[in-house]
């Protein structure tokens, strides 16, 4: 596999068209941290399969269009070439392009927002990266989350931007007790839908394609994605989350990303790291429930924000574990006058 | 003009009273980034004209009082002298002072909040500047936005702080279709109100005074303000925003600031920079619609937050365009033990 | 007193069990910035007294369990030893452990969330400290606030996590006029409850125990806590805040923390510093009212967030008081090509 990849990289390096294709495929792969064009191809296949199966081909078209626009914007902005070639300016675009047609109705204004959002996602990627690099921490999918929050929230103010499926805005209210039990088949399908919902796709076959895409690039990533989805399933069931959400994979996608990010991408796998990643994955499920309630009054989805916030919190500590003491700050409030 | 300005600066430098006046006039001018006392005078004239025309003279008094208090607070805190002399500790105060009497009813508690808020705006300016300087990025009007959010939101908890005009808090709901068309005169007035609403003034004559104030300091700034307001008008109409908001200039003031900031203040004007500023200006309109919906449940205005967030996102990338790669962090989770 | 403390420190340094006890007691003491095991003992006594008096012993058990778990998590993560020995990894845990049984109903899932939250509070402490150290500023109790917001907000999504006392979510609405007056006894008790509510305890005796705990460590801290609670009482009454909230001490605990933090912990007491701390304390009351209204639609408490945000804003300026000028950024948007 790595020989074939290396040959492809050589070919792509010599041909500008294949090179551009390569960057975009890697961009798709980077949604789950894989700098690998074959992985990206499997991820795009997962989106296309899910979009066709769901009768919403505009989701697949949107994802590809936005991926290309985000990448081209990075080129126009003279973004760092090495980062560009790893696909780091494409993965937020793919997600913007899959999300906008999922939540907004097809039409000229939807495509206008999608194109503007894809270009802006690259600017936001540069901005968030600049800030997070201060602490050697990646931007993750926050550029997608922030950009798309603005795009879909705006729909409530704009009469020419009809909403397809989200909201309506509502105050959260306490729920109590467990719902009717689910059977083993539903649980199995819910487990597979976790990886698919990373791309906003509610389809178990797409989940399998995502896992295969990870496997060809990193067995650890595939394993941790599968384990992360399983942990999320167990915790969300035990806490009594909505069964409709659980069986649609909506409690699974953020924990999948947290498990892969903490367990094998940014830290090298070890017993302690896996324990740390497990704590982060469990906490991601709690944060998913919290953010679903917290965002309900404004009627938009949380996207991958639970993954982003938890993973940032678990990446920031790293090797330097010394907080500022509760003692006077050097220099005090006023400069000493000489 | 620059000779007259230079003579004034000489005179103001020698007379403490005129020097203090100069700092405060520059503080007013810095609301739209102009280190120019004459510009500040035009901006104050725009506020006074709008306040009198609207029968709310306390807005003009509040703006001047808060400007002076914010400046004095900076002096008491030994703030950086060069920044002080450029008026960088006054512009948030002016806006706090114009906003509080606009949204809260006249009375002793309103003035108490205005005075506390004006002093706090200088502390917040220092705090936000400290953070944003890490990435060579300015605080913009965020100190005004944050301070005033707290002041007016508190009114819902305090029985002695009556609300004059904002809210009531409400969940956002989907709107659909375009409203009845507006005529050319209304559009022309809406366009002029954009620059005026930077100072929370709903008056086209004030908009002309703001544009003249910019012109005497920077023709580029005046041009970009006028263009920014026009782009905002076109985009908000095309997306089907509320006509009442559009004709009051409420979709115009943040894009005006974004256009000036990105187009000629923090980047030097060029074809690529103007394209970049255009993208930012369009996105500001979308963010305005999004934030209007998102903030509705708590019943307060967005102030210039859409400008601040978009401009930060478009300023942060700057020359250094390399995100953290999706690869292991140096040092890992645990320190190596020797 | 300091001799006894120094003898204890010697003994604790030689015995691992007493050493662990010492770290945990200091952890409790650090809730109000005191690196002192006796202070921590008084603070724990205040929690136990209040929990028993209120018939909710699980609050006291939760506080101790979470304190120990947070400390152990720091040890497992190889956190900085000097910080650990000062109790800097315990104080957020104590608060998580007191808050969760206050707002969620007793049961297996409540204890699961409490244990996960206590461990996560240490990770969040490391993360927030890493970020804030960039500006030589402490994390304060933000790790407690953020972690517990997620834990209790999740209850609205999880059927197996019953809510004990918070919410229901509601839109804020304008209140007007002052309520019936309170008598001197109620005011006196409200004043004592301010320091107690730092630990989520609504009991005047606990407030006295907290003040004694401060006194044995730092007379300045005790004095500023008492003054902070008094200022908060005066300002909240003058602004017409809810009498039920005022007499429960809910307008007092954040200002107590702000007054101590700004007045004697992070800046050395002086006339100018006390004036600065007074401004911060008054503003904390306003922010408390604002956040109470702003958080109402999602039905969770603000915890110590008003203290954290105001104190951050007032600590960040410190000695370096020079914002970025409103002038071009060095390097511009694009790198110069050679």
Cα separation of A146 and A156, whole Å?
A: 17
Cβ contact, residue pair A172, C133, below 8 Å: no
Over the Cα atoms of chain C, what is R_g? 21
Per mean pLDDT, which range of A13-17, A225-229, B155-159 is the poorest? A13-17
Question: Is 90 exceeded by the pLDDT of residue C125?
Answer: yes
pLDDT band at A321 (very low <50, low <70, confident <90, very high): very low
Task: Give how far the C-alpha of residue A144 lies from the chain's centroid of Cα atoms, to the nearest Å.
Answer: 8
Model ipTM value: 0.93
- Chosen for mutation from B150, B161, B276, B279 (greatest number of chain C CBs closer than 10 Å) is B150
| Average pLDDT score over residue span A270-297 | 96
**Residue A148: enclosing H or E segment and its boundaries?**
helix A142-153
Cα separation of A71 and C333, whole Å?
A: 18
Smallest Cα–Cα separation from A173: which of B260, C254, C158?
C158
pLDDT band at C12 (very low <50, low <70, confident <90, very high): confident
Cα separation of C132 and C176, whole Å?
A: 39
Cα separation of A102 and A104, whole Å?
A: 6
Cβ contact, residue pair B130, C179, below 8 Å: no
What contacts A311, CB < 8 A, 6 or more positions away?
A140, A257, A258, A261, A262, A280
Cα→Cα distances B286→A65, C9, C110, Å: 20, 60, 41
The chains found to touch B (3+ Cβ pairs under 8 angstroms) are A, C
Smallest Cα–Cα separation from B257: which of B241, B271, B277?
B277
Question: Is 80 exceeded by the pLDDT of residue A323?
Answer: no
What contacts B212, CB < 8 A, 6 or more positions away?
B42, B222
CA atoms within 13 A on the CB side of C315: 32
**Residue of chain C nearest B156, judged by CA positions:** C174
pLDDT in tens, A201-259: 999 999 999 999 999 999 999 999 999 999 999 999 999 999 999 999 999 999 999 99
- End-to-end, the C-alpha distance of chain A in Å comes to 68
Residue pair B117/B66 in contact by the 8 Å Cβ criterion: yes
| Average pLDDT score over residue span B167-185 | 84
Question: Is 60 exceeded by the pLDDT of residue B236?
Answer: yes
Residue pair C49/C116 in contact by the 8 Å Cβ criterion: no
C323 DSSP assignment? P
User: 0.90 cut: is pTM over it?
Assistant: yes
C264 DSSP assignment? I
Beta pairing partners, A104: A163
**Residue of chain A nearest C121, judged by CA positions:** A313
Question: Is 70 exceeded by the pLDDT of residue A92?
Answer: yes
What contacts A4, CB < 8 A, 6 or more positions away?
none
Question: Is 80 exceeded by the pLDDT of residue C336?
Answer: no
Question: Is 60 exceeded by the pLDDT of residue B297?
Answer: yes
HEC string of chain B equals: CHHHHHHHHHHHHHCHHHHHHHHHHHHHHHHHCCCCHHHHHHHHHHHHHHHHHCCCHHHHHHHHHHHHHHHHHHHHCCCCHHHHHCCCCCHHHHHHHHHHHHHECCCHHHHHHHHHHHHHHHHHHHHHHHHHHHHCCCCCCHHHHHHHHHHHHHHHCCCCCCECCCCCCCCCCCCCCCCCCCCHHHHHHHHHHHHHHCCCCCCHHHHHHHHHHHHCCCHHHHHHHHHHHHHHHHHHHHHCCCHHHHHCCCCCHHHHHHHHHHHHHCCCCCHHHHHHHHHHHHHHHHHHHHHHHHHHHHCCCCCCHHHHHHHHHHHCCCCCCCCCCCCCCCCCCCCCCC
State the Cα torsion C22-C23-C28-C33 to the nearest 10°: 110
Cα→Cα distances C40→B27, B303, C106, C252, Å: 48, 44, 26, 20
Cβ contact, residue pair A313, C127, below 8 Å: yes
> What's chain B's average pLDDT?
92
Q: How far is C190 from chain A (nearest CA, A)?
A: 28
pLDDT band at B338 (very low <50, low <70, confident <90, very high): very low
Q: Where on the phi/psi map is residue A78: left (φ > 0), alpha (ψ -120 to 50), or beta?
A: left
Smallest Cα–Cα separation from B252: which of B201, B296, B295, B217?
B201
Residue owning tokens 């303000």: B225
> What's chain A's average pLDDT?
92
pLDDT band at B177 (very low <50, low <70, confident <90, very high): low
| Average pLDDT score over residue span C72-85 | 92
Cβ contact, residue pair B33, C326, below 8 Å: yes
Question: Is 80 exceeded by the pLDDT of residue A335?
Answer: no
Q: Which of C120, C126, C169 is nearest residue A172 as measured by Cβ atoms?
A: C169
Backbone angles phi, psi at C163, to 5 degrees: -85, 135
pLDDT in tens, B263-288: 999 888 888 889 999 999 999 999 99
Cα separation of C245 and A118, whole Å?
A: 47
Per mean pLDDT, which range of B2-6, B7-11, C238-242 is the poorest? B2-6
Cα separation of A46 and A68, whole Å?
A: 18
| pLDDT value for A23 | 96
A10 against B212, higher pLDDT: B212
Contacts of A314 in chain C (CB under 8 A): 123, 127
Q: Which of C119, C136, C160 is nearest residue A240 as measured by Cβ atoms?
A: C160
Smallest Cα–Cα separation from B276: which of B264, B266, B263?
B263
Give the highest mean pLDDT range of A309-318, B93-102, C9-18, C158-167.
B93-102
What contacts B154, CB < 8 A, 6 or more positions away?
B113, B161, C239, C286, C287, C289, C290, C293
Cβ contact, residue pair A272, B334, below 8 Å: yes
Q: How far is B69 from chain A (nearest CA, A)?
A: 19
Residue pair C27/C83 in contact by the 8 Å Cβ criterion: no
| pLDDT value for B174 | 84
Burial B33-72 (b: 16+ CB within 10 A, else e): bbbbbbbbbbbbbbbbbbbeeeebebbbbbbbbbbbbbbb
Number of Cβ atoms within 10 Å of the Cβ of C271 = 7
Task: Give how far the C-alpha of residue C37 lies from the chain's centroid of Cα atoms, to the nearest Å.
Answer: 18
Cα→Cα distances C29→C202, C270, C281, Å: 19, 24, 21
Q: How far is C216 from chain A (nearest CA, A)?
A: 17
pLDDT in tens, A111-165: 999 999 999 999 999 999 999 999 989 999 999 999 999 999 999 999 999 999 9
Q: How far is B217 from chain C (nearest CA, A)?
A: 14
pLDDT band at A196 (very low <50, low <70, confident <90, very high): very high
pLDDT band at A55 (very low <50, low <70, confident <90, very high): very high
C220 against C336, higher pLDDT: C220
Backbone angles phi, psi at B163, to 5 degrees: -85, 135
Beta pairing partners, A163: A104
Cβ contact, residue pair A80, B238, below 8 Å: no
> What's chain C's average pLDDT?
92
Contacts of A30 in chain B (CB under 8 A): 326
- Domains defined along chain A, listed by start: 7-154 (1.10.3430.10), 184-315 (1.10.3430.10)
- Chosen for mutation from C158, C167, C260, C307 (greatest number of chain A CBs closer than 10 Å) is C158
Over the Cα atoms of chain B, what is R_g? 21
| pLDDT value for A338 | 46
Per mean pLDDT, which range of A88-92, B9-13, B15-19 is the poorest? B9-13
Tokens representing A141 are 């999918």
pLDDT band at C321 (very low <50, low <70, confident <90, very high): very low
Q: How far is A268 from chain C (nearest CA, A)?
A: 15
Backbone angles phi, psi at B327, to 5 degrees: -145, 165
pLDDT in tens, A94-124: 999 999 999 999 999 999 999 999 999 999 9
Question: Is 60 exceeded by the pLDDT of residue C176?
Answer: yes
Smallest Cα–Cα separation from B298: which of B113, B110, B150, B197?
B150
Axis-axis angle for helices C2-14, C16-29 (nearest 10): 130
pLDDT in tens, C140-154: 999 999 999 999 999
Cα separation of A266 and A276, whole Å?
A: 12
Burial degree of B177 (CB within 10 A; 0-12, 13-18, 19+): exposed
| pLDDT value for C331 | 59
Contacts of B161 in chain C (CB under 8 A): 239-240
Q: Which of B74, B171, B267 is nearest residue C332 as measured by Cβ atoms?
A: B267
């Amino acid at each position: 596999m790595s020989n074939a990849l290396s040959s492809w990289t050589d070919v792509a390096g010599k041909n500008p068209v294949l090179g551009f294709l390569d960057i975009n495929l890697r961009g798709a792969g980077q949604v789950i941290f894989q700098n690998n064009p074959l992985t990206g191809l499997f991820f795009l296949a997962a989106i296309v399969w899910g979009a066709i199966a769901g009768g919403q081909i505009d989701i697949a078209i949107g994802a590809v269009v936005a991926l290309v626009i985000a990448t081209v914007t990075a080129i126009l902005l003279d973004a760092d070439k090495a980062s560009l070639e790893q696909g780091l300016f494409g993965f937020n675009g793919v997600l913007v392009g899959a999300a906008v047609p999922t939540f907004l109705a097809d039409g000229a204004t939807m495509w206008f927002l999608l194109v503007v959002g894809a270009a802006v996602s690259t600017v936001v990627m540069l901005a968030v990266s600049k800030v997070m690099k201060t602490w050697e921490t990646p931007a993750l999918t926050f550029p997608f989350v922030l950009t798309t929050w603005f795009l879909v929230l705006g729909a409530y103010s704009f009469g020419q931007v009809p909403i397809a499926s989200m909201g309506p805005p509502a105050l959260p209210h306490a729920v109590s007790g467990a719902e009717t039990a689910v059977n083993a088949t539903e649980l199995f399908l819910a487990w597979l839908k976790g990886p698919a919902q990373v791309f906003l796709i509610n389809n178990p076959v797409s989940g399998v394609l995502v896992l295969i895409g990870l496997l060809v690039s990193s067995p650890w990533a595939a394993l941790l994605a599968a384990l992360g989805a399983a942990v999320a399933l167990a915790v969300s069931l035990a806490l009594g989350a909505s069964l409709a959400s659980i069986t649609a994979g909506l409690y699974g996608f953020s924990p999948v990303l947290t498990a892969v990010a903490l367990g094998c991408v940014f830290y090298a796998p070890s017993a302690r790291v896996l324990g740390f990643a497990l704590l982060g994955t469990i906490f991601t499920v709690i944060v998913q429930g919290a953010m679903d309630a917290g965002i309900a009054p404004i009627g938009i989805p949380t996207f991958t924000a639970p993954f982003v916030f938890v993973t940032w919190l678990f990446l920031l500590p790293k090797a330097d574990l010394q907080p500022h003491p509760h003692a006077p700050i050097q220099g005090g409030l006023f400069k000493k006058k000489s």
